[in-house]
Amino acid sequence: MSRTAGQSDRRTVAPARAAALLAGAVLSVCPTVRLSGQDSSVVDRGVRVGIIYRPGVRPGMVLLPGRPAVLDSVRAIVARDLDYSDRFEMITLPGGDSIRLGAAANPTRSSGRGRTGGGGGEAAGLNYPLFQALGADFAVALAQATDTTVVTLHDVAAGGVRREVKKRLPPLTSPDFRLAVHRLADQVLQASLGAPGVAASRLLFVMDGKVWQIDQDGADKRLVSSSDRQAMSPAWAADGRRFAYMEFWAGHGQLFVQDMATGKRAAVVTTGAALDFTPAFSPDGKTLAFSRAIEEGTDVYTVNLKDNCCLQRLTVGRFSDNLSPTYSPDGQRIAFVSTRAGLPQIYVMAADGTDQQLFAPFDYGVTGSSNAPEWSPDGQSVAFHRDVAGTLQVFVLDVRTRTVRQLTSVGRNEDPTWAPDSRHLCFVSDRSGYRQLWIIDLETGRIRPLLQQSGARLPAWSPRLPETAASTP
Amino acid sequence: MRRLPLLVLAGLAAAALAACGGSPPPQTAPQPNADSIAAAERAEADRRAREEADARAREEAERIARQRAADSLAAMGRTTEAVRTMLATMIHFDFDKSNIRPDDAGVLDQKISILQANPNLRIRISGHCDERGSDEYNLALGNRRATSAKQYVVSHGIDAGRIETVSYGEERPIAQGHDETAWAQNRRDEFEILSGGDALRHP
């Protein structure tokens, strides 16, 4: 969420010269008070300053403008990644866009404090009080030294450089470029807040019967399906190097495991006549759990992926269906859907199929169908969707207390999938009038569309992607 | 030299016979008889006419036979087409349900008759759902819908091995709308011929 000065919820002090004086006074007396930046609409006259004090807000982050222009794409990607992490108040410098140079450097100079020269983007001599006045806790500068990109993270409150990252980025045209820049953004987040980011992650989803991948910031959509058959239910392996999915063949559903880097795929062993669907990797990547529909009904099975053997049946439904398995991150348990009580609801069992029990509580005869569970990477939650008054809504089950809370209420929302940070969810929603993928941050409630295209569904968010999984042919 | 006098004697005898023969004997070479020629020609013409008539009759018979065969093939084809149409009649389901509706039992009874009349016929039943349910759950629901139709047919004496089932969930809608009319059409079982459907007998 970007913060711009002069918005309606901020007290504006006038006349402007008095405000500027006051700003200086407040700064000198009480440096921890956050001040907003100049209103971009009047910055040229340099007369208006908004002041706001908001305790408990997220740390302010400003991405410094600067040269060279070759870093514009890097700066744009990093700025968006930091914004989409939902952990910062992104501060928009006067001029409207923090990635554009121009007006930003001038207030620095005109303030009469610590002239920096070089547009404020250089590592040395940042005007910390000014950026503190703008509400920034951190400032990130990008620079280019021959073939190396240098990212400098300034700790504004401490008045010094927190960390400097030097990285040789692949050329702009390389398929590895964006992922490498996403990793830089994650390093900035790690260095500033000590939290691992999700910038270097992707999502798989199904559109027009094909499997696609897309960066978490909504860019770089690519086809990964390797056949013309109708595909469903992509699922990542925990190492981020493989994914599994289902394809309709004549009269049955065939599971495949595909290598991300090479695009090569192998059929998972089946009896050849069953409808196998909703694959889910065990966290160690050795086992694939899935649903198998036969005339008797649908049940959860596992197969040994390494040896492509050893089919095991975990549930015996008889007159009910059991499907959509999802492993806990420790590999000990599997949450799944069962119709044993009538409508489908969320159950849990040990990974060997024993100790089956209800997981997400429901009121018999009242609560609607619950489906599509996915266990969060931190193990604390299971996201799923539930029929509420004839439409689907995303719910989150707290694993420890076994309580559920409804996350969405606008439109139809379904098939949630966790980001590797366990605080973002991607799901399908028709809230904009057509079905597309949206991402919500559970901490702030902030929501954004991942795609502007309709028809995307069944998203699967990757783990943090390893370096070597970067390239895709 | 004894043979020479015999030859001479024979020659003399022949001469003597010839000398006392008088008038030469009547010519025995056939004289043309107009009546018999005409008769023969008539006979020949009649024969040819008969043959031609026979050939025409045979051809006609063959043509008729061919026509009859063609007619019966066409009739058979018409029958096959009619039976196929009967077989392809879909059945429909209530939302999130897989039980056979009472009004669809007659449709399934017709399929049972067809399967009984055509013992080589094998079919596939595919279960489908509307778009309202969960995408993946609908695969299980479609499976239930296909299976319940199969169970109905098998419970009426049809060999289970002649019927395959498959589910396409909500992946293959036949009505593209987003209202109850479209949903009702999409909640269905489809029936297709796997083998033995070239010449179907009407039950």
CB proximity A407 to B under 8 Å = no
Q: What percent of chain A has pLDDT over 90?
A: 66
Query: Which stretch of A358-372, A378-392, B60-74, B179-193 has the lowest confidence by average pLDDT?
Result: B60-74
Contact residues on chain A for B150, CB-CB shorter than 8 A: 295
Rounded distance, CA B59 to CA B54, Å? 8
| The predicted structure's pLDDT at residue A120 | 40
- Pairwise CB contact (< 8 Å): A369 & B134: yes
pLDDT tops 60 at residue A257: yes
Q: What is the pLDDT of residue B29?
A: 58
Q: How confident is the model at residue A272 (pLDDT cuts 50, 70, 90)?
A: low
Q: Which residues of A touch B147 (CB under 8 A)?
A: 295, 297
Identify the weakest region by mean pLDDT among A159-163, B108-112, B198-202.
B198-202
User: How far A429 CA lies from chain B's nearest CA (Å)?
Assistant: 13
Chain A residues near residue B134 by CB distance under 8 angstroms: 344, 369, 371-372, 385, 392, 414-415
Best of B98, B122, B132, B143 to disrupt the A interface (most A CBs within 10 Å) is B143
Confidence of residue A185 (pLDDT cuts 50, 70, 90): very high
Taking an 8 Å cut-off on Cβ atoms, the answer to whether B139 and A414 are in contact is no
CB contact under 8 A, A291 and B137: no
**Cβ neighbours of B173 in A, within 8 Å:** none
Verify whether the Cβ–Cβ distance B136 to A293 is below 8 Å.
Answer: no
Backbone angles phi, psi at B44, to 5 degrees: -60, -45
Rounded to whole angstroms, how far apart are CA atoms A200 and B194?
49
Distance (Å) from the alpha carbon of A472 to chain B's nearest alpha carbon: 28
* Separation in Å, CA of A430 to nearest CA in chain B: 13
User: pLDDT tier at A306 (50, 70, 90 boundaries)?
Assistant: confident
Looking at residue B26, its pLDDT comes to: 53
- The domain tally of chain B equals 1
A4 compared with A287, residue with greater pLDDT:
A287
Percentage helix, strand, coil, to 5, in chain B? 60, 10, 30
What ipTM, to 2 d.p.?
A: 0.80
Question: In B, which residues are within 8 Å of A344 by CB distance?
Answer: 134, 137
Distances (CA, A) of B199 to A57, B75, B79, B114, B119: 77, 11, 8, 12, 12
Using the Cβ of A207 and the Cβ atoms of chain B, whether some distance falls under 8 Å is answered with: no
- What's the CA gap between A431 and A150, in Å, rounded? 41
Q: What percent of chain B has pLDDT over 70?
A: 84
Q: Which chain B residues touch A211 with a CB distance below 8 Å?
A: none
Mean pLDDT (whole number) for B191-203:
92
Q: In this predicted model, which residue has the larger pLDDT, B92 or A127?
A: B92
Instruction: Determine contact: B147 vs chain A, CB below 8 A.
Output: yes
Letter for the amino acid at B67?
Q
| Residue B113 placed within a domain | yes
pLDDT greater than 50 at residue A9: no
Q: Cα–Cα distance between A367 and A386 in angstroms, integer?
A: 8
Residue B32 — pLDDT band, cuts 50, 70, 90? low
Identify the pLDDT of residue B23: 52
Report the sign of the C-alpha dihedral through residues A355, A359, A364, A368, in that order.
negative
Q: Do A277 and B135 touch (CB under 8 A)?
A: no
In a domain, B85, yes or no: yes
The residues, ordered by sequence, that sit 6+ positions from A454 with a Cβ below 8 Å of its Cβ are A434, A435, A436
Tokens representing B95 are 């939302």
CATH node for A202-469: 2.120.10.30
More confident residue, A101 or B5: B5
Looking at residue B31, what DSSP letter applies? P
For residue A252, give the nearest of B134, B137, B166 by CB distance. B166
pLDDT of residue B3: 52
**pLDDT class of A196 with cuts at 50, 70, 90:** very high
Structure-model confidence comparison of residues A377 and A42, the more confident one: A377
* Residue A28 pLDDT greater than 80, yes or no: no
Structural domain for B133, as ranges? 79-195
| Structure confidence by residue, pLDDT tens digits, B166-192 | 999 999 999 999 999 999 999 999 999
Choose from B96, B129, B135, B155 for mutation: most chain A CBs within 10 A.
B135
Residue B144 resides in a domain:
yes
Q: Which residues in chain B touch residue A298, judged by CB atoms under 8 angstroms apart?
A: 139-140, 143
Residue B96 with chain A: CB contacts under 8 Å: 343, 369
In chain A, ranges of CATH 2.120.10.30 domains: 202-469
Mean per-residue pLDDT, A99-128: 45
CB pair distance less than 8 Å for A414 and B134: yes
Handedness of CA A160, A163, A165, A166 (dihedral sign): positive
DSSP state of A390: T
pLDDT band at A307 (very low <50, low <70, confident <90, very high): confident
Q: Does A249 touch chain B (CB under 8 A)?
A: no
Q: What is the mean pLDDT of residues B26-47?
A: 75
B188 CA: distance to closest CA in chain A (Å): 16
Residue of B122, B123, B132, B139 to mutate when probing chain A, most A C-beta within 10 A: B139
Closest CA to B130 of B84, B181, B79, B90: B181
Does B107 score more than 80 pLDDT?
yes
A336 lies within 8 A of chain B by CB: no
Among the ranges given (A345-354, A367-376, A396-405, B43-52), the one the predictor scored with the smallest mean pLDDT: B43-52
Mean pLDDT of chain A: 83
Confidence of residue B76 (pLDDT cuts 50, 70, 90): confident
Structural domain includes residue B135: yes
Sign of CA dihedral B69, B72, B77, B83: negative
With CB atoms and an 8 Å threshold, state whether A230 touches B171: yes
Contact check, Cβ <8 Å, B137/A343: no
Whether A232 sits inside 8 A of B135 (CB atoms) is yes
Query: Is residue A117's pLDDT more than 50?
Result: no
Q: Does B135 touch chain A if contact means CB atoms closer than 8 Å?
A: yes
B192 CB near a chain A CB, below 8 Å?
A: no
Q: Inspect the interface and report whether the beta carbons of B166 and A275 lie closer than 8 Å.
A: yes
| CATH number of the domain to which B84 belongs | 3.30.1330.60
- Using the structure block, give the residue that is written with the tokens 């470029």: A177
Within-domain flag for B121? yes
Of A39-53, A122-136, A210-224, A274-288, the least confident: A39-53
**Pairs across A and B, CB distance < 8 A:** 79
Confirm whether B91 is domain-assigned: yes
What is the arithmetic mean of pLDDT over A302-329?
A: 93
Please report the sign of the dihedral spanned by the C-alpha atoms of residue B140, residue B141, residue B142, residue B148: positive
Q: What is the pLDDT of residues B149-159, one digit of tens each?
A: 999 999 999 99
Q: What is the mean pLDDT of chain B?
A: 86
**E-only strand ranges, A66-216:** 89-91, 138-145, 148-155, 160-167, 202-207, 210-215
Taking the C-alpha atoms of residue A443 and residue A423, their distance in angstroms, rounded to an integer, is 7
**Residue-wise DSSP of A303-334:** EETTTTEEEEE----TTS-EEEEEE-TTSSEE
In this structure, the dihedral spanned by the alpha carbons of residues A322, B132, B85 and A247, taken in order and rounded to 10 degrees, is: -50
Average pLDDT over residues A207-231: 94
Q: What b/e readout covers B61-85, taking b as 16+ CB neighbours within 10 angstroms?
A: eeeeeeeeeeeeeeeeeeebeebee
Which residues does chain A have within 8 Å of residue B140's beta carbon, measured at their own beta carbons? 291, 293, 297-298, 321, 323, 339
Return the HEC string of B37-102.
HHHHHHHHHHHHHHHHHHHHHHHHHHHHHHHHHHHHHHHHHHHHHHHHHHHHCCEECCCCCCCCCH
* A275/B143 touch (CB, cutoff 8 Å), yes or no: yes
* A249-253, A310-314, A429-433, B197-201: least confidently modelled range: A249-253
For chain B, percent of residues with pLDDT exceeding 90: 55
Cβ-defined contact of A371 to B137 (cutoff 8 Å): yes
Instruction: Taking residues B68-78, report their average pLDDT.
Output: 82
Please tell me if residue B166 touches chain A, with a CB cutoff of 8 Å: yes
Mean pLDDT over A59-74 rounds to 84
- pLDDT for the residue numbered A453: 86
CB B188 within 8 A of CB B128: yes
